[in-house]
Structure 1
Amino acid sequence: MIEVPYQSLPRDQSDVRYAHGPDSAVQPGVPVGRTIEFDWNESAIYPGTFRKFWVHVPARYDPAQPASLMVFQDGWWYLDPEGEVRGAIVLDNLVHRGDIPVTIGVFVAPGVFPDAEDPKNRNTEYDAFDDRYVSFLLDEIIPEVTQRYTIAEDPDRWGICGGSSGGNCAFTAAWLRPDRFRRVIGYLSSFTQMPGGNPYPELIPGVPRKPLRVFLQAGHRDLRWNEPEANWLANNLRVAAALAEAGYDFRLVLGDGGHNPNHGGVLLPDALRWLWRSDDRPDGCAADVAEGEAVVRAAE
Structure 2
Amino acid sequence: MSTSIPFSPLPLSQADVSYEYGPDSFARPGVEPGAVEQFRMEASRHFPGTTRSVWVHRPAGHRADEPSAVMFFNDGWWYVDPDGDVRGGIVLDNLAAAHDLPQMIGVFVDPGLLDVDGVPTKHRNAEYDAFNGTYASFLLDEVLPIVQERYAVSDDPMLRGICGGSSGGNAAVTAAWTKPDGLGRAIAFNPSFAQIPGGNPHPALLTTEPRRSTRFFLHAAHRDLHWNEPEWNWLAESLDTAAAFARAGYDFRIVVGDGGHSPNHGGVLLPDALRWLWQPVQ
2:58–2:106 Cα contact (<8 Å) kept: yes
1:60–1:96 Cα contact (<8 Å) kept: no
Aligned counterpart, 2:33: 32
1:177 to 176, 179, 198: 179
2:190–2:224 Cα contact (<8 Å) kept: yes
Aligned pairs, number = 280
Aligned-residue RMSD, C-alpha: 1.0
1:18-29 superposed matches below 5 A: 18-29=19-30
Other structure's SS at 1:5 match: coil
Aligned counterpart, 2:53: 52
1:60–1:102 Cα contact (<8 Å) kept: no
Matched AA of 1:164: S
Aligned counterpart, 1:137: 139
Identity rate of aligned residues, in percent?
A: 56
Hey, what's the Cα distance between the residues in 2 that align with 1:176 and 1:47? 21
Hey, what's the Cα distance between the residues in 2 that align with 1:133 and 1:64? 28
Aligned counterpart, 2:247: 245
Shift of 1:63: 2.1
Shift of 1:64: 3.1
Shift of 1:275: 0.7
The answer to whether 1:275 aligns with 2:269 is: no
Aligned counterpart, 1:89: 90
Matched AA of 1:35: V
Matched AA of 1:213: R
Matched AA of 2:67: P
Aligned counterpart, 1:163: 165
Other structure's SS at 1:16 match: coil
1:60–1:95 Cα contact (<8 Å) kept: no
Shift of 1:118: 7.1
1:260 to 237, 259, 262: 262
1:66-77 superposed matches below 5 A: 66-77=67-78
2:80–2:89 Cα contact (<8 Å) kept: yes
2:65–2:151 Cα contact (<8 Å) kept: no
TM-score (norm 2): 0.97
Matched AA of 1:181: L
Shift of 1:42: 1.1
Shift of 1:31: 1.0
Shift of 1:143: 0.5
Matched AA of 1:214: F
- Per-residue CA deviation, residues 6-48 of structure 1 (Å, 9 max, x unaligned), is 1111111121110111101000111111000111111111111
Hey, what's the Cα distance between the residues in 2 that align with 1:3 and 1:15? 28
Aligned counterpart, 1:201: 203
TM-score (norm 1): 0.92
Shift of 1:192: 0.5
1:274-293 superposed matches below 5 A: 274-278=276-280, 280-281=281-282
- Per-residue CA deviation, residues 167-226 of structure 1 (Å, 9 max, x unaligned), is 110001110111110110000000000010000111111010011110000010000000
Shift of 1:257: 0.8
Aligned counterpart, 1:128: 130
Hey, what's the Cα distance between the residues in 1 that align with 2:45 and 2:181? 22
Hey, what's the Cα distance between the residues in 1 that align with 2:192 and 2:26? 28
Hey, what's the Cα distance between the residues in 2 that align with 1:64 and 1:121? 35
For structure 2, the 5+ residue unaligned runs are: none
Shift of 1:60: 2.2
Structure 1 outlier segments of 4+, above 6 Å: none
Change (3 A) 1:18 1:60: same
